[in-house]
C-alpha cells in the first residue's frame, strides 16, 4: 500500500510540472530571446542598408558621368564647332576677297553676322556633301552589322579593323608631312592637308572602336570590360581636338581660295555692274583711271562736284568702297570714302545715258 500510495502521489504531482501544464506549453511556444529588445539591432541594420544604397547611387552616378559627357558633347560640341567653322570661313573669305582688291578688310568693321553670311558662299555645298556621306556610311555600317550573321560579322570586323587603321595612318602621315615637311605636295589644294588630318584621325578612332568590339564578339563574357570613364573622356577629347584642327585647317585654306576667286570673278564682270555717280559738296580730289570730276557751274547747287566712272562694291561700317569702271588688279586703285550727309549717290545701268546736270 505504501508503494501504491507513492505511485499515486507521483501521478498526481506530474501534471503540475510536466509538459501538459499550461505554463509549460506557454514557455515552449515562446522563442528563447522573446523578451530581448531588438530595436538597436534594427537601427544598425537600417543604417547599413542606407549606406549601401548611398554607395550604390554614387557608383551609378560615377558610371553615368561618361554617358552624360557623351550626350552633351554629341549635341553642344558639333553645334559650337559648326558655328566656329562658319565664322572662320567667312573671315578668311573676306580676307581673300579684299586682299585681291588690295584693301584691308578691317576698315569696314564687319560684324559676326557679316562673316556668317559670307560663309554661305562656298561652304554649305561641301559641308552638305561631307555630312551626307558620313551619314550614309554610318547607316550602311549599322545595317550590315545588324543583317549579317555572327560569323560573317566577325570576319567583317577583322577585315575592316586593319583597313581603317592603315588608311588612317597613311592620311595622318600625309598631314604631318604637310605640317613639318614639304608643303609643295598640297600646293594645288592646300585644304587637302586638313582633310587628311581630320579623316585620318576619324579612321583611327573607328579602328580603335572595332578593335574593342573583336574580343566581345569572340568572348561575350569579356564584353563587360570597358575603358575607364576618365580615359574615355580624355580619348574623345583628344579626337575632337585633332579633328577640329584638321577641319579649321581645311576650311581656312579653302575659304582663302574661294574669296580670291570671287575677287577674280568680280574683276571680270565689273564692267557690267551698275554705274555709280557720286555727288559731293566739296571736291574729293579723286585721281583714278577712268574717273572724271565735273564741277557744277550753278552756285546754288547743293552738291558742287560730280564724279563719274565709278562702281560701288560695298558699303559697310560707314564706308563706301568704289572701284573705277575699268579697274584691274594690275592697273587701278580702290577708293574708300566715308559715308557722309555731304555725299549723294545715283545709280544707273552700265553705259546708260544720264543727265549731266548737278
pLDDT digits (tens, 9 = 90+) for 151-184: 787 888 888 888 999 999 999 998 888 888 766 6
**What is the structure's pLDDT at 62?**
42
Cα(22)–Cα(18) distance, integer angstroms:
9
Q: Which phi and psi (to 5°) does residue 348 adopt?
A: -150, 165
User: CB 346: neighbour CB atoms within 10 A?
Assistant: 14
Give the range among 218-227, 253-262, 311-320 with minimum mean pLDDT: 218-227
Q: Which residue has the higher pLDDT, 58 or 252?
A: 252
Helix, strand or coil for residue 336?
strand
Q: Which phi and psi (to 5°) does residue 293 adopt?
A: -105, 125
Cα(202)–Cα(247) distance, integer angstroms:
12
Cα(213)–Cα(236) distance, integer angstroms:
17
How far are the Cα atoms of 68, 137, 190, 295 from residue 257, in angstroms, in the given order? Answer: 40, 29, 9, 42
- Report the sign of the C-alpha dihedral through residues 57, 58, 63, 69, in that order: positive
Q: Which phi and psi (to 5°) does residue 352 adopt?
A: -75, 140
Cα(244)–Cα(201) distance, integer angstroms:
10
pLDDT digit string, tens, across residues 279-335: 999 888 888 888 888 888 777 788 889 999 999 999 888 889 999 988 998 888 899
Amino acid at each position: 500500500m505504501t508503494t501504491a500510495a507513492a505511485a499515486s502521489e507521483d501521478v498526481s504531482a506530474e501534471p503540475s510540472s510536466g509538459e501538459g501544464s499550461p505554463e509549460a506549453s506557454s514557455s515552449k511556444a515562446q522563442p528563447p530571446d522573446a523578451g530581448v529588445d531588438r530595436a538597436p539591432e534594427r537601427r544598425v541594420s537600417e543604417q547599413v542598408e542606407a549606406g549601401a544604397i548611398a554607395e550604390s547611387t554614387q557608383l551609378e552616378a560615377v558610371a553615368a558621368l561618361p554617358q552624360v559627357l557623351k550626350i552633351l558633347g554629341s549635341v553642344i560640341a558639333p553645334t559650337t564647332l559648326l558655328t566656329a567653322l562658319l565664322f572662320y570661313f567667312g573671315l578668311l573669305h573676306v580676307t581673300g576677297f579684299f586682299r585681291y582688291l588690295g584693301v584691308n578688310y578691317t576698315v569696314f568693321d564687319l560684324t559676326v553676322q557679316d562673316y556668317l553670311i559670307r560663309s554661305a558662299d562656298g561652304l554649305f555645298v561641301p559641308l552638305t556633301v561631307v555630312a551626307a556621306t558620313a551619314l550614309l556610311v554610318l547607316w550602311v555600317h549599322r545595317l550590315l552589322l545588324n543583317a549579317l550573321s555572327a560569323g560573317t560579322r566577325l570576319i567583317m570586323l577583322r577585315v575592316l579593323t586593319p583597313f581603317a587603321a592603315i588608311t588612317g595612318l597613311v592620311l595622318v602621315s600625309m598631314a604631318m608631312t604637310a605640317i613639318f615637311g614639304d608643303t609643295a605636295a598640297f600646293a594645288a589644294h592646300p585644304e587637302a592637308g586638313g582633310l587628311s588630318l581630320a579623316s585620318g584621325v576619324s579612321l583611327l578612332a573607328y579602328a580603335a572602336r572595332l578593335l574593342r568590339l573583336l574580343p566581345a564578339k569572340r568572348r561575350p563574357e569579356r564584353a563587360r570590360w570597358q575603358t575607364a570613364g576618365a580615359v574615355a573622356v580624355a580619348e574623345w577629347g583628344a579626337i575632337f581636338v585633332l579633328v577640329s584642327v584638321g577641319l579649321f585647317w581645311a576650311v581656312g585654306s579653302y575659304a582663302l581660295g574661294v574669296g580670291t576667286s570671287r575677287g577674280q570673278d568680280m574683276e571680270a564682270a565689273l564692267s557690267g555692274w551698275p554705274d555709280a555717280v557720286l555727288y559731293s559738296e566739296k571736291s574729293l580730289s579723286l585721281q583714278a583711271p577712268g574717273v572724271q570730276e565735273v564741277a557744277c557751274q550753278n552756285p546754288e547747287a547743293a552738291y558742287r562736284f560730280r564724279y563719274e566712272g565709278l562702281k560701288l562694291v560695298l558699303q559697310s561700317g560707314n564706308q563706301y568702297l568704289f572701284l573705277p569702271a575699268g579697274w584691274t588688279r594690275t592697273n587701278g586703285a580702290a577708293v574708300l570714302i566715308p559715308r557722309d550727309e555731304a555725299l549723294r549717290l545715283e545709280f544707273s545701268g552700265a553705259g546708260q545715258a544720264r543727265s549731266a546736270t548737278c
